[in-house]
Structure 1
Amino acid sequence: MKKVLPVLTAAFLVAFVGHTYAADAGMIALQDIASKWSAAYNSGDAKKLAELYSPNAIFLSGTLGALRGRTEIENAIAGLVKRAPKIMLNPVEAHENENVVWGYWDYAIPNGPTGYGGVTAVKEGEGWLINLHVSNVKPKKE
């Protein structure tokens, strides 16, 4: 029993530290994505924002509809920026598994709606490209 306890303790620590590292790495990646996304949006640069997505990305939005690919995303964001020129993103939760990160953020448009956005991104070279982005406004409380 004396030999088993250290082995079990070590196994627990490895599992806990590994899980914590993945969550931390995921949050770092999501914060980076959110920072680049909001910087491009807030500067009105729809093309730069669209470049954060993979060429065949899907962006499902309760207000913009189902967008497929960078061109549709760029065109929709260009129109949205004219109506709501600023956005704030707050990453809430993220996870990472080597070359894939997934998580969600809260968003707020000043004097406009608030909502949620969930993203899945794949590591490409030194950065991340969003493959799937699902976004919707928070329901109104009745």
Structure 2
Amino acid sequence: MDIKSIIETANLAWNKALNSGSVKTLAALYTDNSIISAGNGIIHTGRDEIEKLFMEFVKNGVHNHTLEIIEVGGSDKVIYQVSKWNANAAESSSFGGIAMSVLEQYSDGKWLINSHVWNVKS
């Protein structure tokens, strides 16, 4: 199993979904009971909440999101990544930080995000 390739494929799909404004596609990359936090102490659970959160990002003009892998690991059916992320806001300012996500493999072979936490560099 090439963990880095799996993560790179997942990252490409994630960036494509957010950058195109397709929040339904983005939410589908998460498990039904995913937990995410945007570094503000608020936890969002499940695809509906995730979709609402990312809809706000899209409405606020977040675009050109990228991920640069720092580290990957895991085994069998659970893998993780630590990455640097960067994006632009509506006014073209750039912002970013560090993200960590955990992916689970399901019986159909599909990898979905189970946990995703990030911060914003000040």
Deviation at 1:89, TM superposition (A): 1.3
SS of equivalent residue, structure 2 residue 69: strand
Higher-Rg member (1/2): 1
Are positions 1:91 and 2:73 aligned together? no
2:119 alignment counterpart: 136
Distance 1:116 1:72 in 2: 22
Q: Distance in 2 between matches of 1:73 and 1:112?
A: 23
User: Given the superposition, is the C-alpha separation of residues 64 and 74 from structure 1 closer, same or farther in structure 2, using an over 3 Å criterion?
Assistant: farther
Question: Could you tell me how far apart the structure 2 residues matched to 1:135 and 1:102 are?
Answer: 13
- Residue 117, structure 1, aligned to residue 99, structure 2: yes
Matches of 1:81 and 1:64 in 2, distance apart?
A: 21
Aligned-partner Cα distance in 2 for 1:66–1:117: 15
8 A Cα contact 1:29 1:101, kept in partner: no
Q: In 2, are the aligned partners of 1:64 and 1:76 still within 8 Å (CA)? A: no
How far the C-alpha of 1:112 sits from its partner, in A, is: 2.7
**Counterpart secondary structure, 1:109:** strand
Aligned residues: 116
Amino acid at match of 1:121: L
Q: Which residue matches 1:49?
A: 26
Distance 1:78 1:64 in 2: 19
- Given the two structures, how large is their TM-score scaled by the length of structure 2? 0.87
Runs of at least 5 residues in structure 2 that lack an aligned partner in the other structure: none
Cα drift, residue 85 of structure 1 = 2.7
Distance of 2:82 and 2:6 partners within structure 1: 12
Bigger share in strand = 2
Post-superposition Cα deviations, 1:94-128, rounded to whole Å, max 9, x if no partner, equal 01301111111111113231111101110122221
> Structure 1-normalised TM-score?
0.76
Q: Shift of residue 65 of structure 1? A: 2.8
Runs of 4+ in 1 over 3 A off after TM superposition: none
Distance 1:64 1:108, change over 3 A: farther
Distance 1:48 1:116 in 2: 23
Structure 2 counterparts to residues 27-66 of structure 1, below 5 A: 27-63=4-40, 65-66=42-43
**Gapped runs of 5+ residues in structure 1?**
1-21
SS where residue 113 of structure 1 aligns?
strand
CA root-mean-square deviation: 1.6
Q: How far apart, CA to CA, are the structure 1 residues paired with 2:114 and 2:120? A: 20
Shift of 1:63: 4.8
Separation in 2, partners of 1:64, 1:108: 20
